[in-house]
Chains A and B, each alone.
Chain A
Amino acid sequence: MLNVQALSKVYGKRKILDTVSFAAKPGEIIGLVGENGAGKSTMLHILAALSKPTSGTITLHNKSYETESKLVKKEIGFVPQDIALWDDFTVEENMLFFEKLAWHHKNKDELKQLCRDMKLDHWDEPVKTLSGGMKRKLNIAISLIHEPNLLLLDEPTVGIDLKSRKEIGAYLSDLAKQDGKIILYTSHDMDEIMQLCDRIYCIGNDPFYYQVLKEYGENPVLL
């Protein structure tokens, strides 16, 4: 269970997040929407324990972010907005590289299976020759090597084709439902968000996304 209580983040005089509270259960996929600069990435960074909130508390499976951050980090998988891979390495080398540094070790077959599950077949190809969709899939696959309970994805499907997008969505959906992972997902694609997420949170003061989602027949929560 992920519990976020009265979370605020202030940069200088600018308040990015203002007493945000929500909870997420295992198996849930939560979508975060909002205009650029609304604080979606900031929220993910705080939930990934990459930056600290100005105030508020977060717990993941009863482990406090403040006092047990090292233990919490073992349970987090973070997929950054940018492709965080070694470009001159092959898919295999990237997987093996990060496996060596991971908390939980996996053998080569398990890593290969993880890629296959994501419909990522180009095991021996260098990353620089992969399509955008394949790179995105590998970006996600690496974040799953250590089997995290909380998966945070910052616009993971931006700029890729529909087929890859659907494959990634299907995989994440299975991951949440079958393995009980908590998934937080940011995107600007409303169709994708509505199809994939169990709940949607609108971040920021702009009511635009809220209105759009209402028009889509969703019941978003304003954070």
Chain B
Amino acid sequence: MKQIMATRFMHWKKQWVSIIFWLLFPILATTGITAITETLQDDTKVPVGIVMEEQTAASEELVQDIKSTPFIRAEILSENQSLHDLEKHELDSVFVIHEGFEENVQRDHRDRLITSFQSDLSFAYSAVKEMILSYVQQETGRSKAAFVVQELEQQHNGNTGWTYEEITAKSKEIQQDENLLDTAFSFDDTVMEANQTPPLFPIWGLWSICTLLSTMLVFDWVIKEKRSKAILRLAFSRWSLKSYLLQNFMLYSVVLFLVDLVTVSIFLFMFGEWISVVSLIVYRLFINMAAFLFAHLFRNTLLYYTVSFALVLIVGISSGAVLPAASIDSPAWFDFVNPLAPLLSGEYVNLWSVMIMVLAVFWLVRKERFHA
């Protein structure tokens, strides 16, 4: 293995730019596409101006809630500035959180907590207003409930001594833990359970497709080296062609897996996304095997690249890794042969993996031939 490593490093030294590029391609492409998508999404959000007349915990929390709403881009501005922007139609609507907001919420005084402004071109005003209203009602409701709990405790001579803050904090904790608001979707008579979460986030779906492509392109060494006349010399060396290819396959797999581990760390750090390392190892192993075996079918690298791009495109579109597969009329059997399915569903193998295993065994037992 030491000798094979040395010979492989000699090849890598000659192609380091392309090797590094294709090794890093999945990370770069995934982060790049994600960043671009986020920027585009940001540009299509509804611009809303928020005027804060008071800086209290309740008002800050409301602003955070508004900001965390996917379709809203909220900006904190002065009243004059926000109204000026609204007149220029740079803002869709303006919401002023009045002084005494926190106090009124705690006292369950719901009148004139927030004043809103819209222009004749405000297209999302109603939706944004309703949403902000729901946040305020949620907070006033929570506040009212806290006072009721305190009153009840006093009436029944309780000795827990819960404060208002403790009760509201507990209420928020329960809300988060129990995920009170849950939505169920259904497509074509197929009912999805309300608590069924998607198998993985699109980040890993995107990465799995980019990785499939980069792996196929990295494995072009099989074609280049098999068609080289120099490979004939292996017949007179310590290693057979099969052993040489196999050891190189293992070497590539180790390097690619190390890059995968770096990817896991980067995605965890950048996007807070995690994936089962076992699923990742299995996925890596099978796509490496597939690319390795697939490359054996070609003598022309250009044809191999073309077919690889086409295959990755088909898999990318139909696998549901990025586009929602449920909306595409793909046949049910596709999940069984979809190379990305085990990774995206958090499983390890499917029919595709079994097929690759069978082909790998076939390749291993097949007799090698040299042509001088």
- The stretch of B40-48, B212-220, B235-243 in contact with A is B235-243
**Are B10 and A96 closer than 8 Å at their CB atoms?**
yes
**Are A88 and B235 closer than 8 Å at their CB atoms?**
no
- The stretch of A26-34, A97-105, A213-221 in contact with B is A97-105
Verify if A86 is at the interface (C-beta below 8 Å from B): yes
Asked if A83 meets B7 with Cβ closer than 8 Å, knowing A48-B235, A89-B14, the reply is no
Give chain A nearest CB distance to B273 CB in angstroms: 39
Give chain B nearest CB distance to A80 CB in angstroms: 5
Verify if A84 is at the interface (C-beta below 8 Å from B): yes
Q: Name A102's closest neighbour in chain B (CB-CB).
A: B237
Query: Once bound together, how far apart are the Cα atoms of A89 and B14, in whole Å?
Result: 8
User: For residue A98, which residues in chain B have a CB less than 8 angstroms away from its CB?
Assistant: 233, 237
**Are A103 and B237 closer than 8 Å at their CB atoms?**
yes
Chain B: number of interface residues, binned into ranges:
20 to 34
**Are B10 and A93 closer than 8 Å at their CB atoms?**
yes
The number of residues on chain A lying at the interface, defined by a beta carbon within 8 Å of a beta carbon of chain B, is: 32
User: For residue A93, which residues in chain B have a CB less than 8 angstroms away from its CB?
Assistant: 10
Give chain A nearest CB distance to B208 CB in angstroms: 33
Interface string of A145-188 (1 = CB under 8 A from B): 01010000010000000000000000000000000000000000
Verify if A143 is at the interface (C-beta below 8 Å from B): yes
Verify if A212 is at the interface (C-beta below 8 Å from B): no
Give chain A nearest CB distance to B209 CB in angstroms: 31
Give chain B nearest CB distance to A34 CB in angstroms: 17
B229 in complex: contacting residue of A45, A76, A84, CB < 8 Å: A84
**Are B372 and A76 closer than 8 Å at their CB atoms?**
no
**Are A84 and B235 closer than 8 Å at their CB atoms?**
no
User: For residue B14, which residues in chain A have a CB less than 8 angstroms away from its CB?
Assistant: 88-89
Query: Once bound together, how far apart are the Cα atoms of A83 and B231, in whole Å?
Result: 11
**Are B238 and A80 closer than 8 Å at their CB atoms?**
no
A83 in complex: contacting residue of B3, B229, B236, B372, CB < 8 Å: B229
A80 in complex: contacting residue of B7, B232, B237, B239, CB < 8 Å: B232
User: For residue A73, which residues in chain B have a CB less than 8 angstroms away from its CB?
Assistant: 235-236
Query: Once bound together, how far apart are the Cα atoms of A69 and B30, in whole Å?
Result: 52
Query: Once bound together, how far apart are the Cα atoms of A93 and B10, in whole Å?
Result: 7
B3 in complex: contacting residue of A49, A80, A100, CB < 8 Å: A100
User: For residue A97, which residues in chain B have a CB less than 8 angstroms away from its CB?
Assistant: 7, 10
Interface string of B219-263 (1 = CB under 8 A from A): 000000000111111111111000010000000000000000000
User: For residue A49, which residues in chain B have a CB less than 8 angstroms away from its CB?
Assistant: 235
**Are B233 and A84 closer than 8 Å at their CB atoms?**
yes
Give chain A nearest CB distance to B220 CB in angstroms: 15
A101 in complex: contacting residue of B229, B237, B370, CB < 8 Å: B237
User: For residue B3, which residues in chain A have a CB less than 8 angstroms away from its CB?
Assistant: 100-101
Asked if A89 meets B10 with Cβ closer than 8 Å, knowing A41-B372, A81-B372, A84-B229, the reply is yes
Verify if B191 is at the interface (C-beta below 8 Å from A): no
Give chain A nearest CB distance to B368 CB in angstroms: 11
Query: Once bound together, how far apart are the Cα atoms of A49 and B229, in whole Å?
Result: 17
Give chain B nearest CB distance to A144 CB in angstroms: 11
**Are B6 and A50 closer than 8 Å at their CB atoms?**
no
Verify if A115 is at the interface (C-beta below 8 Å from B): no
**Are A103 and B232 closer than 8 Å at their CB atoms?**
no
Asked if A146 meets B236 with Cβ closer than 8 Å, knowing A93-B10, A154-B372, the reply is yes
Give chain A nearest CB distance to B247 CB in angstroms: 11
Query: Once bound together, how far apart are the Cα atoms of A83 and B237, in whole Å?
Result: 17
State which residues 74-125 of A face B: CB under 8 Å. 74, 76-78, 80-86, 88-89, 93, 96-98, 100-103
Interface string of B1-30 (1 = CB under 8 A from A): 001101100100010000000000000000
State which residues 357-372 of B face A: CB under 8 Å. 370, 372
29 CB-based A-B contacts, threshold 8 Å: A41-B372, A48-B235, A48-B236, A50-B235, A50-B372, A73-B235, A73-B236, A76-B236, A78-B232, A78-B235, A78-B372, A82-B372, A84-B228, A84-B231, A85-B229, A86-B228, A86-B230, A89-B14, A93-B10, A97-B10, A100-B7, A101-B233, A101-B237, A101-B238, A101-B239, A102-B238, A142-B233, A143-B236, A148-B236
- A-side residues, CB < 8 A to B, are 41, 45, 48-50, 73-74, 76-78, 80-86, 88-89, 93, 96-98, 100-103, 142-143, 146, 148, 154
- B-side residues, CB < 8 A to A, are 3-4, 6-7, 10, 14, 228-239, 244, 370, 372
Closest 4 CB pairs of A and B: A101-B237, A84-B229, A100-B3, A82-B229
